[in-house]
Amino acid sequence: MLYFILLLTFIQPADCQKKLDEINTSYQNCLDEGKIMVNCSQTFLSEMDQLLYEVLTDIKESFTNEQVDSLLQNQKDWELRREHQSNLLNNRLDSLAKVDGMVSQDDRMFTYNEKALFIEKRIQELILHLK
């Protein structure tokens, strides 16, 4: 219930941007520690995914039915681009695998980072819809 209330109070574009900035700062601080940085990137990706969901929820709550329909179609198109981008990144990662099938932690970290940045770009686009 508290989570739902928090989502309802999250609608302001400045709040979305603030949350995005907090995620980026937290990610950078984690990387700066220099310890198991692949975990930092995994968390960054997960937090970007969660924020994307929150922003989409906020937009849907403030849009008319027609606007929601348009947004959902636009989001489906973006999801297809995301899947394509993810497949490209995964294929690149697979190509970097050593003979034993292992991929370096750094390569995994960069892949998670690129996936998260792709989502972040979408979040920025959606924040504009809240303005």
User: pLDDT tens across 100-129, in order?
Assistant: 889 999 999 999 999 999 999 999 999 887
Tokens 């979040």 found at = 123
**Does residue 3 surpass a pLDDT of 60?**
no
Please say whether the dihedral angle defined by the alpha carbons of residues 58, 60, 63 and 67, taken in this order, is positive or negative: positive
What is the per-residue pLDDT across 11-56, written as a single tens digit (0 to 9) for each? 577 788 999 999 999 999 999 999 999 999 999 999 999 999 999 9
- Predicted TM-score (pTM) of the model is 0.86
Distance between CA atoms of residues 39 and 43, nearest Å:
6
Q: By the 8 A CB rule, do 102 and 34 touch?
A: no
Tokens 């975990």 found at = 39
**Structural domain boundaries in the chain:** 12-130
